[in-house]
Chains A and B, each alone.
Chain A
């Protein structure tokens, strides 16, 4: 093989170069390619995770904001309801109070009327007694003599009764 000789091909040298290249390949694979690619992948994963987390956080924030609004709206609605209820209750109790007051007033009115009636009756009788007495005294003075007290009284009462 003249061509091989001319090119300087020698099986032993070829083997040596093959081994040399294999070692080089192995070292680059083991210490260069492997670790560097791992580092690059790790970093990429980390960045992707960071971005994903950030997006999730953003979404959650929006969600929380919406929930907050919802809760606020709910609270406002409930407050409105409570106020309405309270108003209704107040209205009702107001009517009740008015009713009770009216009744009470009517009762007081009636009581007062009765009392006045009684008092008048009492005053009337008292006045009657006093008048009789006055009449007796007056009559005594006029007549000048005193009748039997019992007889007198009976007579006067008879008269007064006649007057009435």
Chain B
């Protein structure tokens, strides 16, 4: 038996020119599961006498919503950002937890003589994480432009008032770019490392020894989903706030 770890997801086959990777299939399956659950909720949605399932969903959603409101501090803003944050959280959570369904690693696909695992942790594919990160980061830029206006937004990065503020403006650009890296690699790194660690442990000692690492992986699966969603909310909150300095400037103009 040989340990096969690849940074990139494995391509299973091509549809036309689109390479279908195992994580792409995984993300589709997970989306389908979540969508099915949502449709089920929608179908059985009762106004005044919620069932147990609806109660659970309501509890999760209203709890998450109240949490978002407490972070962002405004019901109006929370209403706008909540769907995205909640979707991110649920998607990442389900994708991470799905990796703990046993027996997946044994399901392989024969690609020209070499066997490739069909299931791979979706968040261990940098592509998927990158897409979600870009959604968040671009959204944050849009919110910032909407709040500060295009010139106010640009002025934050290109400030010619003094050499220091010019330098700080350039640093802000670096900060925005760093957001992409920190947000995406935090999630990707944790999940990928967890996968690798689990695989290595399974390879070295298949019984009992990997268990603590699996618990750890379970913890990081929930925490990373939470952190990603919360950071999205926090970034949007920061972008949507007008700083006091600016208010003073506007008033003196």
Of B39, B58, B84, B131, which is within 8 A of A17 by CB? B131
Which residues from chain B sit less than 8 Å from chain A, CB to CB? Answer: 6-9, 17-19, 21, 24, 27-28, 31, 34-35, 38-39, 41-42, 45, 47-48, 50, 57-58, 61-62, 65, 82-84, 86-87, 90-91, 125-128, 130-132, 135
Chain B residues with CB under 8 Å of A10's CB are 19, 127
Q: In the complex the two chains form, what is the Cα distance from A3 to B84 in whole Å?
A: 29
The answer to whether A39 touches B58 (Cβ under 8 A) is: yes
Q: Are B83 and A33 in contact (CB under 8 A)?
A: yes
Query: A37 — which chain B residues lie within 8 A by C-beta?
Result: 61, 65
A12 to B6, alpha carbons, bound, how many Å?
20
A155 is an interface residue with CB less than 8 A from chain B:
no
Q: Is the CB of A13 within 8 A of B35?
A: no
* Partner among A13, A28, A32 whose Cβ is within 8 Å of the Cβ of B21: A13
Determine the distance from Cα of A39 to Cα of B59 in the docked complex, in whole angstroms. 12
List residues of A whose CB falls within 8 A of some B CB.
5-10, 12-14, 16-18, 20-21, 23-25, 27-29, 31-33, 35-37, 39-40, 42-43, 46
Q: How far is the CA of A42 from the CA of B46 in the complex (A)?
A: 11
Chain A residue nearest to B50 (CB atoms) is: A39
Would B58 and A9 count as touching, CB distance under 8 A? Answer: no
List 11 additional A-B contacts (Cβ < 8 Å) besides A9-B8, A28-B90, A32-B57.
Answer: A7-B8, A16-B24, A17-B128, A20-B28, A21-B87, A25-B83, A27-B39, A28-B35, A33-B82, A33-B83, A37-B65
A contacts with B: majority SS: helix
A14 to B21, CA, bound (A): 11
Residue of A nearest to B48 (CB): A43
Given A16-B24, A39-B58, does the pair A21, B131 have CB atoms closer than 8 Å?
yes
Neighbour of A23 across the interface among B31, B62, B130, CB < 8 A: B31
Q: Which residues of B contact A16 (CB under 8 A)?
A: 18, 24
The list of the 6 closest CB pairs from A to B, nearest first, reads A8-B8, A32-B38, A31-B42, A7-B126, A29-B83, A24-B31
Q: Are A25 and B24 in contact (CB under 8 A)?
A: no
A39 in contact with B45 (CB, 8 Å)? yes
Chain A residue nearest to B46 in the complex (CB):
A39
- What residues on A are CB-neighbors of B39 within 8 Å? 27, 31
Give Cα A16–Cα B14 distance, bound, in whole angstroms.
13
Check B83–A21 contact: CB distance below 8 A: no
Q: Give min CB distance, A28 to chain B, whole Å.
A: 5
Q: A6-B7, A7-B8, A31-B41 are in contact. Are A17 and B87 (CB under 8 A)?
A: no
Given contacts A36-B57, A39-B47, contact A25 B17 (CB under 8 A): no
- Beta-carbon contact of B58 and A40 below 8 Å: yes
Give chain A nearest CB distance to B35 CB in angstroms: 5
Given A24-B87, A43-B47, A13 and B19 contact (CB-CB distance below 8 Å): yes
Q: Are B130's CB and A8's CB within 8 A?
A: no
Across-interface contacts of B21 in A (CB, < 8 A): 8, 13
* B91 to A, closest residue via Cβ: A24
For the complex, give the distance between the alpha carbons of A17 and B206 in Å. Answer: 34
CA distance A13 to B9 in the complex (A): 11
Query: Shortest CB–CB separation between residue B164 and chain A, in angstroms?
Result: 34
B10 to chain A, nearest CB (A): 8
CA distance A17 to B128 in the complex (A): 6
Q: How far is the CB of A16 from chain B (nearest CB, A)?
A: 6
Residues of A within 8 A of B27 (CB): 17, 20-21
Contact flag A33-B132 (CB < 8 Å), given A6-B7, A12-B19, A13-B18 = no
A18 in contact with B131 given A31-B38, A40-B61 (CB within 8 Å): yes
27 A–B contacts, CB within 8 A, in A order: A6-B7, A8-B9, A8-B125, A8-B126, A12-B19, A16-B18, A17-B128, A20-B24, A20-B27, A21-B135, A23-B31, A27-B38, A28-B86, A28-B87, A29-B87, A31-B38, A31-B39, A31-B42, A32-B42, A33-B61, A33-B82, A35-B41, A36-B41, A36-B45, A37-B61, A40-B61, A46-B48
